[in-house]
Structure 1
Amino acid sequence: MVDLTSAGKAGILFGYCPQQDALDELLTGWEHLQYYCSLRGIPRQYIPEVAADLVRRLHLESHVDKPVATYSGGTRRKLSTALALVGKPDILLLDEPSSGMDPCSKRYLWQTITQEVRDGCAAVLTSHSMEECEALCTRLAIMVDGSFRCLGPPQHIKNRRHCALICSDKSSEEKMIAGSRQSLEEK
């Protein structure tokens, strides 16, 4: 277990992608990446290379020179994830990382996160998307009103709860979630 208060002293680096993007509307993607690279202590001569790698991996090439104010919600999420990945963190905390992304962008994001995990990074993800959880998680916890109701591999959770959450629109998703919540509370 990691004691978060002493993690920095132990040399453990965290990457954090908040649900609400913490981006400066006036800066470009490049400027954000350069700033975060500097904060992470990446030597100045390597910053362009590190930033370019993240831009390539998250498919930000056509946006990176524009002010963040012009970005779509999905592009903001990609930049926020790129910032969380600066410096190769040991632990990655991701809150709804693919929210607002088109399906193709989600796949690239998921590939990037999966590669980070393969390279030894631990990832903690919060999501309302079962599809995202299945793509990224080896263990899944379902919470209802702040309490864990289920814990285990995604397939185990689906088998135990006899469900697969696949919705085509927001209102269907909300109805399914409400029904699932009621079912969990009854058990």
Structure 2
Amino acid sequence: MPSPVMPTSNEGAGHARPAAISAAGLRKSYGDKPVLEGIDLHIPAGTVFALLGPNGAGKTTVVKILSTLLSPGPGSGEIRVDGHDLATDPQTVRAAIGVTGQFSAVDGLITGEENMLLMADLHHLSRREGRRVTADLLARFDLTTAARKPAATYSGGMRRRLDIAMTLVGNPRIIFLDEPTTGLDPRSRHSMWQIIRGLVSDGVTVFLTTQYLDEADELADRIAVLNSGHIAAEGTADELKRLVPGGHVRLRFTDPAAYRSAATALPEAAPGDESLTLQVPSDGSQRALGSLLGRLDAAGVEADGLTVHLPDLDDVFFALTSSAARPHQPEEISR
């Protein structure tokens, strides 16, 4: 079982930009059942941060606390969202954020346009400004044609797009997306991914919780795995994949003599699944690849092909959240 991993200094990746969200020692219990046992977060502005974890791990609890819907537990440290202290300035925090929960906030009895205008009223926009914002967002989310149809007639993907469009009426700089693509078909999921990428390109920070590991792999700048009330590991997708054994470099040769020389120079290598190929255990890092290529150069051997194979996020997730996994003091990812 790999050790939990988190950056421990501001020099680590992800700390070059100012934090959109930061939390120190975030705690929460329900009765005598602890859910969060002192987690730390530092989420740079203009990035996608994905929080993964098994059902019941506390992902939604984290979202509710950071979005002011739930109070943090006793003993929690300072929590800041968009630079504002959650404890002393919750109203300003609410003005800076948008929240799309697991369950749609769309009212199916009224039209998509009426849902949008209702949100504009809630944000105290003038009638003229509300209609302008509504028209712009409906066009942006490809909902103009369906705007005057009851939302109950929308497909799941359309309702999700309308849900996010409603979230954007107040022009939030931080958006919490709590499992936004659950239940959507593959085409609708990919459409939602494009929307999320577009938000980030506009400078919005996205805090994403998801059950789909490929979604986190595709979208997130940084990923944290929540397990047993602790952050078991945090890093980029590639950094997390290097935590799990099974990574290797596949070398391909066309010259049998070169293949034999490489096998001699690399005694840890095993024959690959094709003839004249070798598999060399590796975490895929630049340092490991440099060392491997240096050994081949020293032996006067040149491979005809080289590919790096790393475990996927499914492997990482299962390793970090298995019953054998026990949270302990995080360490820094080697870079």
TM-score by length of 1: 0.80
* CA apart distance, 1:79: 1.4
Q: Deviations over 1:158-177 (max 9, x none)?
A: 222353257xxxxxxxxx97
1:181 to 321, 327, 334: 321
Identify the residue that residue 60 of structure 1 maps to in structure 2.
Answer: 143
Once residues 29 and 110 of structure 1 are traced to their aligned partners in structure 2, the CA distance between those partners, rounded to angstroms, is 21
The CA distance in 2 between the partners of 1:154 and 1:107, in whole Å, is: 19
Of 106, 111, 120, 2:203 maps to 120
Instruction: Give the Cα separation in 1 of the matches to 2:223 and 2:100.
Output: 19
Asked if the contact 2:104/2:163 (under 8 Å) is kept, the reply is yes
Describe how 1:1-187 pairs up with structure 2 within 5 A: 1-2=80-81, 3-5=85-87, 6-9=89-92, 12-161=95-244, 163-165=311-313, 181-182=321-322, 185=325
Runs of 5+ consecutive residues of structure 1 not aligned to the other structure? 167-175
How far is the alpha carbon of 1:134 from its aligned partner?
2.4
Give the superposition deviation at 1:178: 6.2
Question: Does the CA contact (< 8 Å) of 2:223 and 2:236 recur in 1?
Answer: yes
SS at 1:82's partner residue?
A: helix
Q: Is the 8 A contact 2:97 2:172 kept in 1?
A: yes
Distance 1:120 1:12, change over 3 A: farther
Change in CA separation of 1:75 and 1:98 when aligned onto 2, cut-off 3 Å? same
Structural RMSD (CA): 2.7
1:133 aligned partner, one-letter code: A
In structure 1, C-alpha distance between the alignment counterparts of 2:168 and 2:114, rounded to whole Å: 15
CA distance in 2, matches of 1:11, 1:4: 9
Query: Equivalents in 1 of 2:200, 2:95: separation in Å?
Result: 15
Q: Give the count of matched residue pairs.
A: 178
Amino acid at match of 2:311: C
What letter is aligned with 2:132?
E
Amino acid in the other structure paired with 2:325: E
Taking a change above 3 Å as real, the CA distance of residues 145 and 63 of structure 1, as seen in their structure-2 partners, is farther
The one-letter code of the counterpart of 1:164 is D
Q: Aligned partners of 1:40, 1:142: CA distance in 2, in Å?
A: 34
Identity over the aligned pairs, expressed in percent?
34
Partner of 1:173: none
Give the drift of 1:127: 0.5
How far did 1:142 drift? 0.9
Distance 1:116 1:62 in 2: 22
For the 8 Å contact 2:156–2:184, the answer to whether it is kept is yes
Deviation, structure 1 residue 26? 0.8
Residues 86 and 93 in structure 2, CA contact (< 8 A), matched pair in contact too: no
The offset of 1:116, in angstroms, is 2.1
Alpha-carbon separation, structure 2, partners of 1:23 and 1:93: 16
Partner of 2:46: none
- Point out which structure has higher relative CO (alpha carbons under 8 A, 6+ apart): 2
* TM-score normalised according to structure 2 size: 0.47
CA distance in 1, matches of 2:90, 2:208: 19
Structure 2 residue matching 1:79: 3-state secondary structure = helix
